[in-house]
Structure 1
C-alpha cells in the first residue's frame, strides 16, 4: 500500500497485472477466476496520465486479468487492500456491503467494491448508473439485490429509507 514497484527483466512481457499483484506484491485480495474480464473478480482501480489533457489524470476500474503489467508504467494502482481492513478500519463501501448483507462467500466482494470505488472517483452516481455499472461483475452466492442496494445507498438520488437502512458494522 503506497509502495512503488520497479519491474525488472525477469518478468515476462505477457505477465498480467493480477499475477504480479498476487505473486510478486503478495496482495491476494485481488482474485482471479475467468482470465477473460468477464466476471469482475480481478478489478483494481488505476490512476494514469490522461493522454488527451497534459498534466491531468484519469481514475477508473480495470480488469487486472486483461491488463499487461508493462502497460502500467507510471500508473497508480489500488487494490482492495488499499481501502481498508480490520486493523486500519473499513472503507464506507466495505461497510455498506456488509451492512446490507451483500456477501456470502466473499469471493466476488473485492472486485465489486473496487469497481464501485473506481466509479465514485469520477463523481456522484445515480441509482441507474450504479445498476448499469455492475453488469460485468458476477456473484454466484448472494444474489444481486443486497449488493445493488448497498451500492445504491451511495447514489445521489437514493431514497432516504435506503440510505438509513445501513447497519453500523461496529454494532454487530
Structure 2
C-alpha cells in the first residue's frame, strides 16, 4: 500500500463523463482519491452520497474528490444518475490504480478471507505527496473525517455523520430479534 510521504502514483482512467482523468489534471489541488468495491451497493452508495454532499466544502478547501472502482463507465453513469452524484467516478477494470495504491488484495468479509477492493482513501497534496491514508474504511462519517483533514484539522474533530432516524428505528427491531435468536449448536467433531 502507498504510505504517507510517498509520491502518489499517477494514473489515467476513464471517468463517468467519458474523459480520461489522472492526477496531472489537477495542478495545485489536493486530490481525495477513494477506492470502493461496487456501484449501487449500500455502503458504496452512502459513501458516494456523503462525498457528493460535501463537494462544495472540499472545493472551498482546494480539493477534488475522485471515486475509483472496477465498475464500467456505463455502470458508473447509471450509478451517478440514479443517486444524482456529483463526485467524479473512475473506471479501473484492469486494477491499474487499485494495484498501484495497494487498494486490492486479501481482506476479511463476514469472517471469510476474500480477494477484492480494499475500501481505502488517499489524501494527496498539491505536491503529489500522500498526506494521509485511510485503509479498511468504515463508511459512516468517513467523508466528514476526510474533509476535516483536508481543511488542516484532525480526522477526530469531524462532526458525527447525520443518521436518518427512520432507518435507525427500522433496523433496531431486527438487531433485537437477532440478539434473542437461539445460538446454533456447535458441530460435533468427527
Q: What TM-score, normalized to structure 1?
A: 0.28
Q: What TM-score, normalized to structure 2?
A: 0.26
User: Which structure has more strand as a fraction of its residues?
Assistant: 2
Q: Which one has the largest radius of gyration? A: 2
